[in-house]
A and B are shown apart, each in its own frame.
Chain A
Amino acid sequence: MSTRFHVATRKGLFTLERGGTGWSITRASFLGDNCTLVMHDPRYGELIAALNHRHFGVKMHRSRDGGATWNEIATPKYPEKPADYVPKNPVEGKPADWSLKLVWSLTPGGAEEPRVLWCGTLPGGLFKSEDGGESWSLNRRLWDDPLREQWFGGGADHPGIHSICVDPRNPNHVTLGVSCGGVWSTRDGGLTWRVTGHGMRAEYMPPERQFEPNVQDLHIVAQCRANPDVLWVQHHNGIFRSTDAAQSWTEIKDVKPSAFGFAVAVHPQDPDLAWFVPAVKDEKRYAADGRVIVNRTRDGGRTFDSLTAGLPQAHAYDLVFRHALDIDESGDRLAFGSTTG
């Protein structure tokens, strides 16, 4: 079981460790800077941190000694937009800006491709590094797909890729979660892509468009490591589950106190065991009933029980965002962080 957390916050990156007297902060890096994401690479033990300096843009740093020292590495860069580029069908008539707004997901490649990293960004570009982050290239097949131009922002002003699931059985099989743009997957390492959000429902769209795969607002996708055909999605208006590698999705209904939220974690060995942190609703973003709870299902979503021990149960208005609920490789240590800190 893991005894160390790396926590990315608006005030920097914090490392917490469990010692004889409990958990304590053992290191603070980038203090005062907005650390939007941190990735631990289990293949090397390296850390990669994404920072968003409001004035100076997005930057990435790597540590090879657990966070004691950091070096700046390359940041994904969108190619120069061709002068004669005319978007075929941009949603709302506004083409995406070819400029990095935010690093929204970082995922190591497969065990057999040791220096590969994937990076999802706003405004919707997927980048790949084959040298551990020294350089990045935009996946043009996905970026140039006419359906990509139809993506639109959910809570953000730009669409983005927040989830990258690399199949442990086959690193060329990669599944993405897009807000808003559904589920996309490739089985050839990114040469061809297909939107696979069939069965998802978007209640914020006009009735005749609610089941279109490319308009779905996924908040996060979680894949079971032992059974990668099972994926869970916390969606803008519900919870969905797939048991066929994201080809089709089933909505999990009647979840109490709420099916709204941002985060989901699935047990690495048990695909039926998953956790959520429910919030009231999209227009009222705080813990349901003012109580912070973790909703757990142990039977693939048929039933849920609410875990409350140690969590504030009165006047608690925390919100847990998409990357702030995580589980370690053993499946025994679950952690989340909230907007209130």
Chain B
Amino acid sequence: MPTVRFTQNIQRHIGCPTREVAGGTIRDVLDNYFDVHEKARGYVMDDQGRLRQHMAIFVNGAQISDRDTLSDPVSPDAIVDLVQALSGG
């Protein structure tokens, strides 16, 4: 199963432990993660279920391209990193 890791910066707001989560797309993986950690959803996704403007997701080091529907594929051995986008200087 893909491994999901969160930036350390989010941890002071909401606990987001590293977990292995099933799913073939970013959407599936995150939905499964947030099913267990529901409060974290609003820190990463906006009202319409899109990736927040100043967040970024990498799969095996490559940034995803579909920030709105999160359709990027995820292989079973992938590492998914959720980090803050560099913004604000």
Which A residues lie at the B interface, using CB under 8 A? 53-57, 59, 72, 75, 77-81, 97-100
Contact = CB atoms under 8 A, between A and B. Distances in A.
A54 B88 contact: yes
A112 to B, nearest CB: 32
Given A55-B87, A98-B48, A99-B48, 16 more contacts: A53-B13, A53-B43, A54-B54, A54-B87, A55-B55, A55-B84, A56-B55, A57-B46, A57-B52, A59-B13, A78-B47, A80-B49, A99-B47, A99-B50, A100-B46, A100-B47
Nearest to B50: A99
Contact of A55 (B48, B49, B50, B52): B52
Nearest to B56: A55
Contacts of A75: 42
Contact of B48 (A56, A72, A78): A78
Interface string B33-60: 0000001001110111110101100000
Contact of A80 (B44, B48, B52): B48
Contacts, number: 44
Contacts of B39: 72
Contact of B43 (A57, A79, A80): A57
A52 to B, nearest CB: 11
B47 A56 contact: no
Contacts of B54: 54-55
Nearest to A77: B47
18 contacts: A53-B13, A53-B43, A54-B88, A55-B9, A55-B54, A55-B55, A55-B85, A55-B87, A56-B13, A72-B39, A75-B42, A77-B42, A78-B48, A79-B47, A80-B47, A80-B48, A98-B47, A100-B47
Contacts of A99: 46-48, 50
Nearest to A76: B47
B77 to A, nearest CB: 28
B78 interface: no
Contacts of B1: none
Contacts of B84: 55
A243 B84 CA distance: 50
Interface string B45-89: 011111010110000000000000000000000000000110110
A56 B46 CA distance: 9
Contacts of B22: none
Nearest to A79: B47
